[in-house]
């Protein structure tokens, strides 16, 4: 069995008294898309922030392709090949679409000062970026300011920029939030297209159609703990998960609630 791309080992994250991530253990296997579901405030985004280095880990360890990256500096984790998108779209609004993607070019992010000597419009860099924009259907808007993009295109730009960093693991945080049926369907197609370029994908989502069509395996989280794990069908039909999502019926809370 080849080594997993990502191993999260009993990771803990606390904000004051609240334990946002409560000793979560999971892994992303070679070329696998792992779905993460769970109600609001379950700790899903906190987990991604821990893996990508935005939050410091309070306990446990994270390994990426066998190497320990627990609490490694943000830019070091980025350079190792972990890229991500954000729930509230954090693109560079005052830069053009093409510049957004070219900014992620690993040749320059790794040695920023040396990039002063290079031409900003080097043929190779431009072609590489344009290929990605074509791949995500944004080539027509290359010179437009990212701030003016409609919602769906803004999401796709964020993914194109993440891919431009030549990652091996892509973390997606509710990419379909606020999208309608057609936009979600196109997003699923985009993710499938990206798969051959990546060794692993982590997808946080509330839209269950997307989870079913993209995730090979799914993990359900609630109150920072892993509640269920398995295929999409198994997890989405698990009574515990349905209850967490639909909420507790007033009268049937007689049984002692494990989450206390």
Partner 1 sequence: MSQPILEVEDLHAGYGPIKAVRGCSLALSPGETVAVVGANGAGKTTLLRALSNLLPHEQGRVRFLGEPASGAPAHHLARRGLLHIPEGRGTLGRLAVRENLRIAYDVRPASQPFEAALQRVFARFPRLGERQSQTAGSLSGGEQQMLALARALINPPRLLLVDEPSLGLSPVMIGEAFRVLREFRDSGMSILLVEQNVMSALKLASRAYVLRQGQIVMQGDSGKLLAEGDMLKHYLG
Partner 2 sequence: MIGELATMTGFNILLAWSVYIILLSGTLSFANGAFMAIGAYVAGIVTVKLGLPLAAGLAAAAIAAAAIGLLAGYPALRTRGIYLMLVTVGLAAVVETGIQNIPYIGGVKGMGGMQGTTLYHIYGAVLVVGLALWKLTHSPLQRLLDAVREDERVAGALGVNVVYLQLALFCFGAALAAFAGGLYSHHMFFIAPDHFMVIVSVFVVLYVIMGGVNNMWGPPLGAIILTLLPELFRPVGQWRQTVYGVAIAALLLFRREGLMPFRIPSVRLRRNQESGSAR
Partner 3 sequence: MLAEQLINGLVLGAMYALIAIGYSLVFGVLDKLTFAHSEIFMVGGYVGVATAALGMPVWWAIPFAIVIAGILGLIVEYVSFRKFNTPDGHITAALSSFAVGIVMIDLVQKVWGTDPVDLDIPRSIYTAGITAWGIRLAWIKLAILGTTLAIMVGLQLMIMKSRIGRNIRAVAESGTASALLGIDVKRVTQQTFFIASALAAVAGLMLALRGGFADSNVGLGFALKALAIMAIGGMGDVRGAMLGGLAIGVLEALAFQFDLGKFSEVLVWGLMIAVLLVRPTGLFGRATARELRA
Binding interface with partner 2 (CB under 8 A): 52-54, 73-75, 77-79, 83-84, 86, 90, 92-96, 98-99, 102-106, 108-110, 112-113, 115-122, 125-126, 130, 139-144, 161, 165
Contacting residues for 8 by C-beta, under 8 A, at least 6 apart: 24, 25, 26, 27, 47, 50, 51, 60, 62
Of the candidates 159, 169, 148, 144, the one whose C-alpha atom is nearest the C-alpha of residue 29 is 169
Longest dimension (CA), the chain: 70
Q: Which option in partner 1, partner 3, partner 2, none does residue 83 bind, with CB closer than 5 to 8 A by kind?
A: partner 2
Q: Which option in partner 3, partner 1, partner 2, none does residue 174 bind, with CB closer than 5 to 8 A by kind?
A: partner 1
Of the candidates 172, 204, 186, the one whose C-alpha atom is nearest the C-alpha of residue 82 is 172
CB closer to partner 3, 15 vs 151:
15
| Contact call for residue 49 and partner 3 (CB under 8 A) | yes
Alpha-carbon span 142 to 163, nearest angstrom: 16
Binding site for partner 1 (CB under 8 A): 17-18, 39-41, 88-89, 149-151, 154, 174, 176-181, 206-212, 236, 242, 245-250, 253, 257, 259-260
Q: Judge whether 163 and 197 are in contact, CB under 8 Å.
A: yes
Q: How far is the CB of 228 from partner 3 (least distance, A)?
A: 26
Contacting residues for 7 by C-beta, under 8 A, at least 6 apart: 27, 61, 62, 63, 64
Q: Which option in partner 1, partner 2, partner 3, none does residue 40 bind, with CB closer than 5 to 8 A by kind?
A: partner 1
**Residue 248 token pair:** 């507790």
Q: How far is the CB of 8 from partner 2 (least distance, A)?
A: 18
Give the pairing type, strands 82-84 and 169-173.
parallel
Q: Which option in partner 3, partner 2, partner 1, none does residue 56 bind, with CB closer than 5 to 8 A by kind?
A: partner 3
Q: Which option in partner 3, partner 1, partner 2, none does residue 94 bind, with CB closer than 5 to 8 A by kind?
A: partner 2
Q: Which option in partner 3, partner 2, partner 1, none does residue 236 bind, with CB closer than 5 to 8 A by kind?
A: partner 1
**Residue 62 token pair:** 């994270």
Q: Judge whether 137 and 50 are in contact, CB under 8 Å.
A: no
| Per-residue buried b or exposed e for 194-220, using 16+ beta carbons within 10 Å of the residue's own CB | beeebbbbbbbbebeebbebbbebbbb
CB closer to partner 1, 82 vs 91:
91
Per-residue binding letters, 56-75, with partner 3 (x by CB under 8 A): x-------------------
Q: Judge whether 204 and 33 are in contact, CB under 8 Å.
A: no
Binding residues vs partner 3 (CB under 8 A): 15-16, 49, 54-56
């Amino acid at each position: 069995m080849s080594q997993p791309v990502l191993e999260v080992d009993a990771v803990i994250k606390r904000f004051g008294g609240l334990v946002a991530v409560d000793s979560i253990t999971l892994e992303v296997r070679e070329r696998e898309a792992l779905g993460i579901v769970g109600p609001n405030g379950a700790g899903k985004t906190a987990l991604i922030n821990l893996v990508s280095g935005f939050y410091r880990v309070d306990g446990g360890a994270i390994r990426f392709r066998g190497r320990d990256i627990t609490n490694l500096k943000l830019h070091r984790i980025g350079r190792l090949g972990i890229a991500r998108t954000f729930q509230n779209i954090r693109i560079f609004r005052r830069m053009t679409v093409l510049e957004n993607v070219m900014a992620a070019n690993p040749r320059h992010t790794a040695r920023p000062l040396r990039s002063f000597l290079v031409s900003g419009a080097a043929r190779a860099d431009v072609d590489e970026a344009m290929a990605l924009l074509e791949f995500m259907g944004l080539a027509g808007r290359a010179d437009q300011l990212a701030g003016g993009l409609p919602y769906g295109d803004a999401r796709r730009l964020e993914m194109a920029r993440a891919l431009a960093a030549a990652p091996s693991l892509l973390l997606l945080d509710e990419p379909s939030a606020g999208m309608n049926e057609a936009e979600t369907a196109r997003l699923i197609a985009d993710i499938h297209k990206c798969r051959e370029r990546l060794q692993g994908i982590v997808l946080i989502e509330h839209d269950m159609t997307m989870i079913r069509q993209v995730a090979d395996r799914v993990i359900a989280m609630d109150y920072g703990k892993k509640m269920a794990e398995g295929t999409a069908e198994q997890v989405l039909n698990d009574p515990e998960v349905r209850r967490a999502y639909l909420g507790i019926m007033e009268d049937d809370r007689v049984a002692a609630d494990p989450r206390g």
